[in-house]
Amino acid sequence: MIVMKFGGTSVESAAAIERVAAIVGQREARRPVVVVSAMGKTTNKLLAIAAAAIEGDRAEYIRQIHDLRDFHSREARPVVPLDHRAELDRTLDDHFQELTELVKGLAVLGELTPRSIDAISSYGERLSSYIVTLAFRHFGMAAEHLDSRRVILTDKRHTQAAPNFPETYARLARTVPALAQNSVVVMGGFIGSTEDGVTTTLGRGGSDFTASIVGAGISAEEIQIWTDVDGMLTADPTILPGGHRVKTMSFAEAAELAYFGAKVLHPATVVPAIEKNIPVLILNSRRPEVAGTRIVADNVACGNVVKSIACKRKIALVNIHSTRMLMAHGFLRRIFEVFDRFETPVDMVATSEVSVSLTIDNLQRLDAIVAELQQFSQVDTEKCQAIVCLVGENIRYTPGVARRVFGALGGVNVRMISQGASLLNLSFVVAEKDLERTVAALHGEFFAELDPAVFERNEAVHA
């Protein structure tokens, strides 16, 4: 069996779903289990509906619900068999009536709780997985729909639920292989449920995580993540178009890139795959002939020092200083207790005896954090910063990498540097306004020559 996950852009329209059906049909003999995201921007639209309800704008949220139903009906009908159209209409009516009642309740309460967010945002995957199941039947495949909430068991931490792996794996092993014996199994990503049957979500981008969990639970031979790019590239295409495709990389490298901004892959995706030693492939649903990127457990020999450059924008740099802490213990503990209380993760840290600099990407509670830190230290913050992260197994073994990095940057002001916590990355912070020229300079320095066993050169890339 294989697991094939298709993102929102891969199922955003009737034409896109038809492409997905063709891709899956070519692999039907491998007993695929298909995990799909919500169609297009459906999750964002659902949250906008909830926001309109909270604001008491009944006309607006009713209009948006009707628009969303029309969108799903319009894109589904061309790919649903004629004898299933009535069933499609009934299912859409049932789901959108249920959604409307839920939204009316929100309007009365005037409050959007994490549990309500999960309930509302789950409709995207519930609808898309059902529509894709019917579409597969339309294109000649036997297909079975499986509600992910039956098999993905999580805790009660709504909007960012953590799976109960032992029970989830047991449920998957009991359910999926039997269904996959004679049918393509279709599931919605991103969603699960508590022991009490309450709907939860795994966080934005969680459909990748779902695919990895399913793959681990059924001991799949590989997990395929189908998206709208050709695989992992040597640079973020939104910052430097035309990067080279990375043919293969290690799980460790992929995890670093995902954490530091490579949106092709959800950071948590690789965890179940690593534990079960299942390869992960990143593929392009619009160009299925491209071999993509293969992510494997072992280190991948490479003639280049760096495999890829990842970036994380909208970062805040927090500088904390206290001479009272000179030669005193407990300074770091007090700092990180503050971030823990406000449930705000820290990305990078650099320390000296009386100073600590760190970065965060969640700024919602920054003012409150600064207020607490100021009770025992001086604090200043710099917003509109970006992390640039060079990733590669060879960084740990190659002398002079830092010299090449900072030599290439010329006049770019580097605000903070971090190396050592992970032996396969070198990260630093620059102002967002300097990000494009920083990445372009580094790409020219480290990817002028390419190891052909690891990279597929894009001849269109500028030097």
Tally Cβ neighbours within 10 Å of residue 416: 20
Short-list 229, 231, 234, 294, CA closest to 450 = 234
127 touches 92 (CB < 8 A): yes
Handedness of CA 209, 13, 228, 313 (dihedral sign): negative
Domains of the chain: 2-228 (3.40.1160.10), 308-456 (3.30.2130.10)
Contacts of 337 (CB under 8 A, 6+ apart): none
Task: Quote the CA–CA distance of 401 and 442 in Å, as a whole number.
Answer: 11
Task: Quote the CA–CA distance of 79 and 76 in Å, as a whole number.
Answer: 6
Could you give phi then psi for residue 204, rounded to 5 degrees? -60, 135
91 touches 128 (CB < 8 A): no
Tally Cβ neighbours within 10 Å of residue 207: 29
Q: Encode burial over 267-286: b for 16+ CB neighbours within 10 A, e otherwise.
A: bbbbbbbbebebbbbbbbbe
Identity at 318, one-letter amino acid code: V
427 touches 390 (CB < 8 A): yes
Tens place of pLDDT for every residue, the chain, 463 residues?
999 999 999 999 999 999 999 999 999 999 999 999 999 999 999 999 999 999 999 999 999 999 999 999 999 999 998 999 999 999 999 999 999 999 999 999 898 999 999 999 999 999 999 999 999 999 999 999 999 999 999 999 999 999 999 999 999 999 999 999 999 999 999 999 999 999 999 986 789 999 999 999 999 999 999 988 899 999 988 899 889 999 999 998 988 888 787 777 776 777 898 889 999 999 999 999 999 999 998 888 999 999 999 999 999 999 999 876 655 677 888 899 999 999 999 989 988 777 899 999 999 999 999 999 999 899 999 999 999 999 999 998 889 999 999 999 988 999 999 876 567 889 999 999 999 999 999 999 999 999 999 999 987 544 3
For 223, which DSSP code?
A: E
Task: Quote the CA–CA distance of 299 and 407 in Å, as a whole number.
Answer: 28
Coil, strand or helix at 167: helix
Q: Name the region of 128 (left: φ>0; alpha: ψ -120 to 50; beta: rest).
A: alpha
Contacts of 170 (CB under 8 A, 6+ apart): none
Half-sphere exposure of 69 (CA within 13 A, CB side): 19
Strand partners, 356: 320, 351
User: Which ranges constitute the DSSP H helices of 349-434?
Assistant: 366-373, 401-408
pLDDT the model gives residue 326:
57
pLDDT the model gives residue 327:
53
Tally Cβ neighbours within 10 Å of residue 89: 14
Coil, strand or helix at 451: coil
For 403, which DSSP code?
A: H
Task: Quote the CA–CA distance of 169 and 172 in Å, as a whole number.
Answer: 5
pLDDT the model gives residue 460:
59
